[in-house]
Amino acid sequence: MSAADLRAAVRSGLPTGLDTLAALVAIPSVPAPAVQSLDDCRRVAEAVRVAFADLGLEARLATTADGSQAVIATHPAPPGAPTVLLYAHHDVQPAGDLAAWTSDPWTLTQRDGRLYGRGAADCKGGIVTHLVALRALLDVHGAFPVGLVVVVEGSEEQGTDGLEQYVVSHAADFRHVDAAVVMDAGNAAVGEPALVTTLRGTAFVELRVRALRGTVHSGMFGGAAPDAIAVLVALLATLRDEVGDTTVDGLDASRTWDGLPYDGDRFAADAGLLDGAVPIGSADPASQVWARPALTVVGIDAPTVAGSAPAVQATAGAALNLRVPPDVDPAAAGELLVAHLLRRAPAGVEVTARVTGVGAGFRARGGASSSAFRAALSEAYEGAPVGSLGGGGSIPLCATLERAIPDVEVILAGVSEPAANVHAPDESVDPSEIEHMALAEALFLASLGAR
Protein backbone atom coordinates (compact mmCIF):
# COMPACT_ATOMS: atom_id res chain seq x y z
CA MET A 1 0.00 0.00 0.00
CA SER A 2 1.83 3.15 -1.18
CA ALA A 3 1.73 6.53 0.49
CA ALA A 4 0.83 8.06 -2.88
CA ASP A 5 -2.26 5.86 -3.17
CA LEU A 6 -3.42 6.79 0.32
CA ARG A 7 -2.73 10.47 -0.31
CA ALA A 8 -4.88 10.36 -3.44
CA ALA A 9 -7.64 8.46 -1.63
CA VAL A 10 -7.71 10.93 1.26
CA ARG A 11 -7.83 13.87 -1.14
CA SER A 12 -10.63 12.21 -3.10
CA GLY A 13 -12.64 11.51 0.06
CA LEU A 14 -12.17 14.92 1.65
CA PRO A 15 -15.20 16.63 0.01
CA THR A 16 -17.51 13.92 1.35
CA GLY A 17 -15.87 14.27 4.73
CA LEU A 18 -16.46 18.01 4.75
CA ASP A 19 -20.11 17.44 3.81
CA THR A 20 -20.33 15.20 6.88
CA LEU A 21 -18.67 17.92 8.95
CA ALA A 22 -21.30 20.41 7.78
CA ALA A 23 -24.09 18.02 8.76
CA LEU A 24 -22.58 17.46 12.21
CA VAL A 25 -21.96 21.15 12.86
CA ALA A 26 -25.60 21.83 11.99
CA ILE A 27 -26.68 19.82 15.06
CA PRO A 28 -26.11 22.01 18.15
CA SER A 29 -24.96 19.17 20.41
CA VAL A 30 -24.44 21.18 23.60
CA PRO A 31 -24.81 18.80 26.58
CA ALA A 32 -26.48 21.41 28.80
CA PRO A 33 -30.30 21.33 28.98
CA ALA A 34 -30.40 24.92 30.22
CA VAL A 35 -28.80 25.97 26.91
CA GLN A 36 -29.90 23.41 24.32
CA SER A 37 -32.28 20.48 24.05
CA LEU A 38 -30.54 17.19 24.81
CA ASP A 39 -32.40 15.79 21.79
CA ASP A 40 -29.66 17.42 19.71
CA CYS A 41 -26.99 15.41 21.54
CA ARG A 42 -28.95 12.24 20.84
CA ARG A 43 -29.36 13.21 17.18
CA VAL A 44 -25.66 13.83 16.66
CA ALA A 45 -24.73 10.60 18.43
CA GLU A 46 -26.98 8.64 16.08
CA ALA A 47 -25.57 10.47 13.04
CA VAL A 48 -22.03 9.57 14.12
CA ARG A 49 -23.04 5.96 14.77
CA VAL A 50 -24.49 5.67 11.28
CA ALA A 51 -21.37 7.22 9.72
CA PHE A 52 -19.10 4.55 11.22
CA ALA A 53 -21.60 1.77 10.57
CA ASP A 54 -21.59 2.79 6.90
CA LEU A 55 -17.86 1.98 6.85
CA GLY A 56 -18.60 -1.57 7.97
CA LEU A 57 -17.89 -1.21 11.68
CA GLU A 58 -20.18 -2.70 14.31
CA ALA A 59 -21.46 0.55 15.77
CA ARG A 60 -23.72 1.13 18.77
CA LEU A 61 -24.69 3.80 21.28
CA ALA A 62 -23.64 3.39 24.91
CA THR A 63 -25.31 5.47 27.61
CA THR A 64 -22.72 6.52 30.19
CA ALA A 65 -23.16 7.30 33.88
CA ASP A 66 -23.78 11.00 33.26
CA GLY A 67 -26.61 10.26 30.81
CA SER A 68 -24.65 11.10 27.67
CA GLN A 69 -24.37 8.76 24.71
CA ALA A 70 -21.03 7.59 23.41
CA VAL A 71 -20.60 5.92 20.06
CA ILE A 72 -18.67 2.64 20.29
CA ALA A 73 -17.72 1.14 16.92
CA THR A 74 -15.53 -1.93 16.51
CA HIS A 75 -13.94 -4.08 13.85
CA PRO A 76 -11.91 -7.25 14.51
CA ALA A 77 -8.19 -7.29 13.81
CA PRO A 78 -6.78 -9.39 10.98
CA PRO A 79 -4.75 -12.35 12.29
CA GLY A 80 -1.61 -11.10 14.04
CA ALA A 81 -2.46 -7.42 13.63
CA PRO A 82 -2.75 -4.97 16.54
CA THR A 83 -5.89 -3.12 17.59
CA VAL A 84 -6.04 0.67 17.66
CA LEU A 85 -8.54 2.85 19.50
CA LEU A 86 -9.60 6.04 17.70
CA TYR A 87 -11.13 8.77 19.87
CA ALA A 88 -13.03 12.01 19.31
CA HIS A 89 -16.08 13.66 20.89
CA HIS A 90 -19.37 14.85 19.41
CA ASP A 91 -20.45 17.28 22.14
CA VAL A 92 -19.53 20.95 21.81
CA GLN A 93 -19.39 24.12 23.83
CA PRO A 94 -22.34 26.55 23.68
CA ALA A 95 -22.12 29.16 20.95
CA GLY A 96 -22.41 31.98 23.49
CA ASP A 97 -23.15 35.46 22.21
CA LEU A 98 -24.38 34.99 18.66
CA ALA A 99 -23.58 38.62 17.87
CA ALA A 100 -19.90 37.84 18.40
CA TRP A 101 -19.92 35.37 15.50
CA THR A 102 -19.26 36.56 11.98
CA SER A 103 -21.52 33.79 10.63
CA ASP A 104 -24.09 31.42 12.11
CA PRO A 105 -22.26 29.04 14.49
CA TRP A 106 -24.44 26.11 13.42
CA THR A 107 -23.83 26.55 9.68
CA LEU A 108 -20.41 25.49 8.42
CA THR A 109 -19.26 28.55 6.50
CA GLN A 110 -16.21 28.90 4.27
CA ARG A 111 -14.29 32.13 4.64
CA ASP A 112 -10.67 32.99 3.81
CA GLY A 113 -9.78 29.36 3.29
CA ARG A 114 -11.13 28.19 6.65
CA LEU A 115 -14.40 26.54 7.68
CA TYR A 116 -16.24 28.28 10.53
CA GLY A 117 -18.74 26.76 12.93
CA ARG A 118 -19.03 25.49 16.49
CA GLY A 119 -17.35 22.10 16.69
CA ALA A 120 -15.64 22.48 13.30
CA ALA A 121 -12.31 21.85 15.03
CA ASP A 122 -13.30 20.74 18.55
CA CYS A 123 -14.05 17.99 17.94
CA LYS A 124 -16.36 17.21 15.03
CA GLY A 125 -13.35 17.88 12.83
CA GLY A 126 -11.67 15.03 14.68
CA ILE A 127 -14.59 12.70 13.96
CA VAL A 128 -14.38 13.52 10.26
CA THR A 129 -10.61 12.99 10.29
CA HIS A 130 -11.18 9.41 11.47
CA LEU A 131 -13.89 8.87 8.86
CA VAL A 132 -11.76 10.16 5.99
CA ALA A 133 -8.76 8.08 7.09
CA LEU A 134 -10.78 4.87 7.39
CA ARG A 135 -12.54 5.42 4.06
CA ALA A 136 -9.16 5.90 2.36
CA LEU A 137 -7.90 2.62 3.81
CA LEU A 138 -10.97 0.82 2.47
CA ASP A 139 -10.65 2.44 -0.94
CA VAL A 140 -6.97 1.50 -1.31
CA HIS A 141 -6.69 -1.74 0.65
CA GLY A 142 -10.27 -3.04 0.58
CA ALA A 143 -10.12 -3.79 4.31
CA PHE A 144 -8.83 -2.38 7.55
CA PRO A 145 -5.21 -3.40 8.24
CA VAL A 146 -5.70 -3.36 12.04
CA GLY A 147 -8.43 -3.98 14.55
CA LEU A 148 -10.45 -0.91 15.48
CA VAL A 149 -12.22 0.39 18.55
CA VAL A 150 -13.73 3.78 17.76
CA VAL A 151 -14.94 5.81 20.73
CA VAL A 152 -16.79 9.09 20.15
CA GLU A 153 -17.68 10.67 23.47
CA GLY A 154 -20.79 12.71 24.26
CA SER A 155 -19.73 14.55 27.43
CA GLU A 156 -16.10 15.61 27.04
CA GLU A 157 -16.98 19.30 27.42
CA GLN A 158 -18.95 18.66 30.63
CA GLY A 159 -16.14 17.25 32.74
CA THR A 160 -18.60 14.77 34.30
CA ASP A 161 -16.48 11.60 33.84
CA GLY A 162 -19.23 9.63 32.11
CA LEU A 163 -16.96 8.00 29.55
CA GLU A 164 -14.15 7.52 32.05
CA GLN A 165 -16.52 5.58 34.30
CA TYR A 166 -17.70 3.55 31.31
CA VAL A 167 -14.14 2.57 30.36
CA VAL A 168 -13.37 1.52 33.93
CA SER A 169 -16.55 -0.55 34.26
CA HIS A 170 -16.07 -2.12 30.80
CA ALA A 171 -12.30 -2.49 30.98
CA ALA A 172 -12.42 -5.96 29.44
CA ASP A 173 -13.73 -4.41 26.21
CA PHE A 174 -10.58 -2.30 25.89
CA ARG A 175 -7.71 -4.43 27.21
CA HIS A 176 -6.82 -5.74 23.75
CA VAL A 177 -6.08 -2.22 22.49
CA ASP A 178 -2.40 -1.64 21.67
CA ALA A 179 -2.47 2.08 20.83
CA ALA A 180 -4.98 4.90 21.11
CA VAL A 181 -5.11 7.89 18.76
CA VAL A 182 -6.87 10.74 20.52
CA MET A 183 -7.86 13.18 17.77
CA ASP A 184 -8.61 16.10 20.07
CA ALA A 185 -5.42 18.16 20.07
CA GLY A 186 -3.60 19.99 17.30
CA ASN A 187 -0.45 21.22 15.63
CA ALA A 188 1.78 24.16 16.46
CA ALA A 189 0.30 25.97 13.45
CA VAL A 190 -1.26 25.11 10.11
CA GLY A 191 1.23 22.94 8.26
CA GLU A 192 3.55 22.48 11.26
CA PRO A 193 2.92 18.96 12.61
CA ALA A 194 3.36 18.03 16.25
CA LEU A 195 2.25 15.57 18.88
CA VAL A 196 1.03 16.78 22.24
CA THR A 197 2.95 15.00 24.98
CA THR A 198 1.44 16.49 28.15
CA LEU A 199 -1.98 17.76 29.22
CA ARG A 200 -2.88 19.72 32.31
CA GLY A 201 -5.52 18.36 34.63
CA THR A 202 -8.58 20.44 35.42
CA ALA A 203 -10.94 21.22 38.28
CA PHE A 204 -14.19 23.17 38.02
CA VAL A 205 -15.29 25.14 41.09
CA GLU A 206 -18.56 26.99 41.67
CA LEU A 207 -18.32 30.02 43.98
CA ARG A 208 -21.41 31.62 45.55
CA VAL A 209 -21.73 34.76 47.70
CA ARG A 210 -24.75 35.89 49.75
CA ALA A 211 -24.33 39.25 51.46
CA LEU A 212 -27.95 40.27 52.23
CA ARG A 213 -31.36 38.68 52.63
CA GLY A 214 -32.45 40.60 49.53
CA THR A 215 -31.26 43.26 47.10
CA VAL A 216 -31.69 46.81 48.45
CA HIS A 217 -31.60 50.42 47.18
CA SER A 218 -28.01 51.65 46.75
CA GLY A 219 -28.93 55.21 47.79
CA MET A 220 -30.59 54.14 51.04
CA PHE A 221 -28.17 51.36 52.02
CA GLY A 222 -25.04 51.56 49.86
CA GLY A 223 -21.89 52.27 51.84
CA ALA A 224 -22.89 50.32 54.93
CA ALA A 225 -24.59 47.23 53.47
CA PRO A 226 -22.18 44.55 52.20
CA ASP A 227 -22.25 44.17 48.43
CA ALA A 228 -22.18 40.60 47.09
CA ILE A 229 -20.62 41.62 43.78
CA ALA A 230 -17.87 43.60 45.53
CA VAL A 231 -17.14 40.61 47.78
CA LEU A 232 -17.03 38.34 44.72
CA VAL A 233 -14.60 40.65 42.92
CA ALA A 234 -12.37 40.86 45.99
CA LEU A 235 -12.25 37.07 46.31
CA LEU A 236 -11.44 36.62 42.64
CA ALA A 237 -8.67 39.21 42.90
CA THR A 238 -6.83 36.97 45.39
CA LEU A 239 -6.36 34.29 42.74
CA ARG A 240 -3.79 36.13 40.64
CA ASP A 241 -0.82 38.32 41.58
CA GLU A 242 0.30 41.58 40.02
CA VAL A 243 2.24 39.88 37.20
CA GLY A 244 -0.50 37.38 36.39
CA ASP A 245 0.68 34.20 38.15
CA THR A 246 -2.02 32.03 39.73
CA THR A 247 -1.97 32.30 43.52
CA VAL A 248 -3.94 29.50 45.15
CA ASP A 249 -2.72 28.68 48.67
CA GLY A 250 -0.68 25.47 48.61
CA LEU A 251 -0.44 25.18 44.80
CA ASP A 252 3.04 25.42 43.25
CA ALA A 253 3.15 27.99 40.43
CA SER A 254 6.89 28.05 39.75
CA ARG A 255 7.52 25.21 37.28
CA THR A 256 8.99 25.70 33.81
CA TRP A 257 8.47 23.94 30.46
CA ASP A 258 11.49 22.09 29.03
CA GLY A 259 10.08 21.14 25.62
CA LEU A 260 9.61 23.21 22.46
CA PRO A 261 9.36 26.94 23.24
CA TYR A 262 6.33 29.12 22.55
CA ASP A 263 7.58 32.47 21.29
CA GLY A 264 5.96 35.44 23.02
CA ASP A 265 5.12 37.26 19.79
CA ARG A 266 3.59 34.14 18.30
CA PHE A 267 1.59 33.52 21.45
CA ALA A 268 0.33 37.11 21.36
CA ALA A 269 -0.86 36.63 17.79
CA ASP A 270 -2.38 33.19 18.47
CA ALA A 271 -4.22 34.39 21.57
CA GLY A 272 -5.41 37.64 20.01
CA LEU A 273 -3.67 39.98 22.45
CA LEU A 274 -4.28 43.67 21.86
CA ASP A 275 -1.63 45.74 20.11
CA GLY A 276 1.31 46.36 22.41
CA ALA A 277 0.21 43.80 25.01
CA VAL A 278 2.53 41.05 26.22
CA PRO A 279 1.68 37.64 27.74
CA ILE A 280 1.03 37.73 31.48
CA GLY A 281 2.95 35.77 34.11
CA SER A 282 6.50 35.64 35.40
CA ALA A 283 7.68 32.93 32.95
CA ASP A 284 7.65 32.33 29.21
CA PRO A 285 4.29 31.48 27.56
CA ALA A 286 5.12 27.77 27.25
CA SER A 287 5.65 27.49 31.01
CA GLN A 288 2.56 29.53 31.77
CA VAL A 289 0.22 27.43 29.62
CA TRP A 290 1.83 23.98 29.78
CA ALA A 291 3.69 23.66 33.10
CA ARG A 292 1.95 25.92 35.63
CA PRO A 293 -1.52 26.14 37.16
CA ALA A 294 -3.91 28.63 35.62
CA LEU A 295 -7.10 29.97 37.16
CA THR A 296 -9.73 31.30 34.76
CA VAL A 297 -13.04 32.91 35.64
CA VAL A 298 -15.34 31.36 33.04
CA GLY A 299 -18.69 32.77 34.16
CA ILE A 300 -20.23 35.28 36.56
CA ASP A 301 -23.76 35.53 37.91
CA ALA A 302 -24.56 39.22 38.32
CA PRO A 303 -26.97 41.72 36.77
CA THR A 304 -26.10 42.64 33.22
CA VAL A 305 -25.09 46.22 32.44
CA ALA A 306 -28.12 46.66 30.20
CA GLY A 307 -31.14 46.99 32.44
CA SER A 308 -29.19 47.17 35.68
CA ALA A 309 -30.67 49.12 38.62
CA PRO A 310 -28.95 51.25 41.32
CA ALA A 311 -29.08 48.56 43.99
CA VAL A 312 -26.80 46.70 46.36
CA GLN A 313 -26.87 43.11 45.18
CA ALA A 314 -27.64 40.37 47.68
CA THR A 315 -26.09 37.50 45.75
CA ALA A 316 -23.43 36.83 43.12
CA GLY A 317 -21.54 33.83 41.82
CA ALA A 318 -18.75 32.69 39.58
CA ALA A 319 -17.70 29.55 37.74
CA LEU A 320 -13.96 28.90 37.96
CA ASN A 321 -11.74 26.63 35.89
CA LEU A 322 -8.41 25.60 37.41
CA ARG A 323 -5.82 23.93 35.18
CA VAL A 324 -2.92 22.11 36.86
CA PRO A 325 0.28 20.33 35.68
CA PRO A 326 -0.14 16.68 34.63
CA ASP A 327 1.28 15.18 37.83
CA VAL A 328 -0.91 17.26 40.16
CA ASP A 329 -4.11 15.67 41.46
CA PRO A 330 -6.88 17.93 40.10
CA ALA A 331 -9.33 16.94 42.84
CA ALA A 332 -6.82 17.93 45.53
CA ALA A 333 -6.06 21.15 43.66
CA GLY A 334 -9.77 21.93 43.48
CA GLU A 335 -10.09 21.49 47.23
CA LEU A 336 -7.11 23.81 47.73
CA LEU A 337 -8.97 26.42 45.68
CA VAL A 338 -12.14 25.93 47.72
CA ALA A 339 -10.21 26.30 50.98
CA HIS A 340 -8.43 29.40 49.65
CA LEU A 341 -11.76 31.09 48.91
CA LEU A 342 -13.51 30.10 52.14
CA ARG A 343 -10.51 31.24 54.19
CA ARG A 344 -11.02 34.75 52.83
CA ALA A 345 -14.78 35.02 53.33
CA PRO A 346 -15.60 38.33 55.10
CA ALA A 347 -17.41 38.17 58.43
CA GLY A 348 -21.16 38.35 58.06
CA VAL A 349 -21.15 37.21 54.41
CA GLU A 350 -22.03 33.67 53.33
CA VAL A 351 -19.45 32.27 50.92
CA THR A 352 -19.81 28.75 49.55
CA ALA A 353 -17.52 26.97 47.11
CA ARG A 354 -17.53 23.44 45.78
CA VAL A 355 -15.72 21.34 43.22
CA THR A 356 -18.20 20.44 40.46
CA GLY A 357 -15.96 18.36 38.21
CA VAL A 358 -12.38 17.22 37.66
CA GLY A 359 -10.29 15.78 34.87
CA ALA A 360 -6.91 14.08 35.19
CA GLY A 361 -3.78 15.37 33.51
CA PHE A 362 -1.63 13.27 31.22
CA ARG A 363 1.98 12.67 30.22
CA ALA A 364 2.58 10.51 27.13
CA ARG A 365 4.71 7.40 27.58
CA GLY A 366 6.12 7.33 24.07
CA GLY A 367 7.21 4.15 22.33
CA ALA A 368 7.12 2.36 19.00
CA SER A 369 3.56 3.40 18.11
CA SER A 370 4.27 7.05 18.89
CA SER A 371 7.39 6.88 16.72
CA ALA A 372 5.35 5.34 13.91
CA PHE A 373 2.76 8.12 14.15
CA ARG A 374 5.51 10.75 14.06
CA ALA A 375 6.88 9.15 10.89
CA ALA A 376 3.38 9.13 9.40
CA LEU A 377 2.91 12.80 10.29
CA SER A 378 6.16 13.76 8.62
CA GLU A 379 5.17 11.82 5.51
CA ALA A 380 1.71 13.37 5.46
CA TYR A 381 3.15 16.87 5.78
CA GLU A 382 5.68 16.14 3.01
CA GLY A 383 8.77 15.75 5.15
CA ALA A 384 8.12 18.47 7.72
CA PRO A 385 9.80 17.88 11.10
CA VAL A 386 7.42 16.80 13.87
CA GLY A 387 7.64 18.67 17.16
CA SER A 388 6.42 17.96 20.68
CA LEU A 389 4.01 20.32 22.38
CA GLY A 390 2.39 20.65 25.75
CA GLY A 391 -1.35 20.98 26.01
CA GLY A 392 -2.97 23.46 28.32
CA GLY A 393 -6.33 21.74 27.98
CA SER A 394 -7.51 18.51 29.58
CA ILE A 395 -8.67 15.19 28.10
CA PRO A 396 -9.37 12.98 31.13
CA LEU A 397 -9.82 9.86 29.01
CA CYS A 398 -6.06 9.73 28.29
CA ALA A 399 -5.13 8.93 31.89
CA THR A 400 -8.13 6.60 32.22
CA LEU A 401 -7.01 4.59 29.20
CA GLU A 402 -3.53 4.18 30.62
CA ARG A 403 -4.97 2.89 33.89
CA ALA A 404 -7.42 0.54 32.16
CA ILE A 405 -4.96 -0.76 29.53
CA PRO A 406 -1.55 -1.23 31.18
CA ASP A 407 0.58 -1.31 28.00
CA VAL A 408 -1.35 1.08 25.77
CA GLU A 409 0.36 3.98 24.01
CA VAL A 410 -1.82 7.09 23.90
CA ILE A 411 -1.06 9.40 20.98
CA LEU A 412 -2.44 12.94 21.01
CA ALA A 413 -2.98 14.66 17.67
CA GLY A 414 -5.68 16.76 16.05
CA VAL A 415 -6.83 19.61 13.85
CA SER A 416 -7.27 22.36 16.48
CA GLU A 417 -4.18 24.51 15.87
CA PRO A 418 -4.11 27.95 17.58
CA ALA A 419 -6.00 29.79 14.83
CA ALA A 420 -8.98 27.44 15.34
CA ASN A 421 -10.28 29.61 18.21
CA VAL A 422 -11.90 26.67 19.98
CA HIS A 423 -14.39 27.39 22.81
CA ALA A 424 -14.81 30.91 21.43
CA PRO A 425 -16.76 32.77 18.73
CA ASP A 426 -15.72 32.09 15.15
CA GLU A 427 -14.29 28.64 15.86
CA SER A 428 -12.87 27.27 12.63
CA VAL A 429 -10.77 24.58 11.03
CA ASP A 430 -8.37 24.67 8.11
CA PRO A 431 -9.50 21.83 5.81
CA SER A 432 -5.87 21.11 4.94
CA GLU A 433 -5.34 20.07 8.56
CA ILE A 434 -8.14 17.51 8.29
CA GLU A 435 -6.66 16.24 5.03
CA HIS A 436 -3.09 15.94 6.34
CA MET A 437 -4.10 14.50 9.70
CA ALA A 438 -6.39 11.94 8.03
CA LEU A 439 -3.53 10.92 5.76
CA ALA A 440 -1.19 10.62 8.75
CA GLU A 441 -3.70 8.40 10.54
CA ALA A 442 -4.21 6.22 7.47
CA LEU A 443 -0.44 5.86 6.99
CA PHE A 444 -0.03 5.03 10.68
CA LEU A 445 -2.70 2.33 10.65
CA ALA A 446 -1.29 0.88 7.43
CA SER A 447 2.20 0.76 8.91
CA LEU A 448 0.97 -1.08 12.03
CA GLY A 449 -0.86 -3.60 9.88
CA ALA A 450 2.24 -4.15 7.75
CA ARG A 451 4.21 -5.22 10.82
Catalytic site residue from 66, 122, 153, 156: 156
Query: Taking 60 as the threshold, does the pLDDT of residue 1 lie above it?
Result: no
The yes-or-no verdict on residue 231 having pLDDT over 80 is yes
**Rounded mean pLDDT, 24-52:** 94
- Exactly one of 40, 66, 91, 157 is catalytic; name it: 91
Does 213 have pLDDT greater than 60? yes
Give the pLDDT band of residue 382 (cuts 50, 70, 90).
very high
Say whether 97 is catalytic. no
156 catalytically annotated = yes
Q: What is the mean pLDDT of the chain?
A: 95
Tell me, what's the pLDDT at 392? 66
Q: Looking at residues 237-258, what average pLDDT do you find?
A: 96
Q: How would you write the chain as a 3-class SS string?
A: CCHHHHHHHHHHHHHHHHHHHHHHHCCCCCCCCCCCCHHHHHHHHHHHHHHHHCCCCEEEEEECCCCCEEEEEEECCCCCCCEEEEEEECCCCCCCCHHHCCCCCCCCEEECCEEECCCCCCCHHHHHHHHHHHHHHHHHHCCCCCEEEEEEECCCCCCCCHHHHHHHHCHHHCCCCCEEEEECCCCCECCECEEEEEECEEEEEEEEEECCCCCEEHHHHECCECCHHHHHHHHHHCCECCCCCECCCCCCCCCCCCCCCCCHHHHHHHHCCCCCCCCCCCCCHHHHHHCCCEEEEEEEECCCCCCCCCEECCEEEEEEEEEECCCCCHHHHHHHHHHHHHHCCCCCCEEEEEEEEEECCEECCCCHHHHHHHHHHHHHCCCCCCEEEEECCCCCHHHHHHHHCCCCEEEEECCCCHHHCCCCCCCEECHHHHHHHHHHHHHHHHHHHHC
Mean pLDDT of 285-298: 95
